[in-house]
Amino acid sequence: MVDILKKIKIRAILPAAALLAAAAIGTTYAWQTWDLDIKNELKSHETIVEVVENFDKENPFDHKEVAFRNNGSSSVFLRYSYTEYWEKDGYILSNRLSDGTEIAVKAWVNSDQWEKIDDGWFYYNKILKQGDSTDKILEKVTLPTDFDTAHPEYIGASYHLYFKVEAVQCSDGNNTLNSEAVNADATEKLFGRKAVVDHKGRVTWD
């Protein structure tokens, strides 16, 4: 693996902050390169969600953990999506071969806290309280042991892994009137899905 890493330009894209115009929603683009030039931030009024990462700088393909943390002053509803690709000499290469095989294999954490819906987003089925973090969603990204011989066209390419997270402020205060209707209306307008919260705080998405 050491020899392989010397031949590969390794970048995971996870970019500097960006804002959406909607008052109750924020979007974060967290760009990361392996030299620790990291800036992950989302701000929209009192909504602040951060992409939290833990990785091995010397060997990032073997250990890379990703989660999300609510650093704002209010609870939020959350969803994320991701994009990945390879870039070489100005050309974009897919991370999947024609038979569906992945080049860089992501070790996702099996969790019942996220629901993948056919719009391409993963929806958090809990309310993320102020100061809380989600469980990690990713543990590592690995390359095949025969990378050099099996995929020579990818040698020298840069691997990009890009996460996008969006949050909608949750009305869960004791003094909030019609919070159920307010939350459903807000998430439907901004996510295109209604958040329905049961008495245990579990969120389902209609």
Give per-residue pLDDT as tens, 82-127.
999 999 999 999 999 999 999 999 999 988 999 999 899 999 999 9
Give residue-wise pLDDT tens across range 144-158: 889 889 999 999 998
Tokens 């008495």 correspond to what residue?
A: 199
- pLDDT category at 174 given cuts 50, 70, 90 is low
Say whether 79 sits in a helix, a strand or coil. Answer: strand
Q: What is the pLDDT of residues 58-93, one digit of tens each?
A: 666 667 789 999 988 889 999 999 999 999 999 999
| 18 or 105, greater pLDDT | 105
Mean pLDDT taken over the chain: 78
pLDDT score, position 84: 92
Percent of the chain with pLDDT over 70: 71
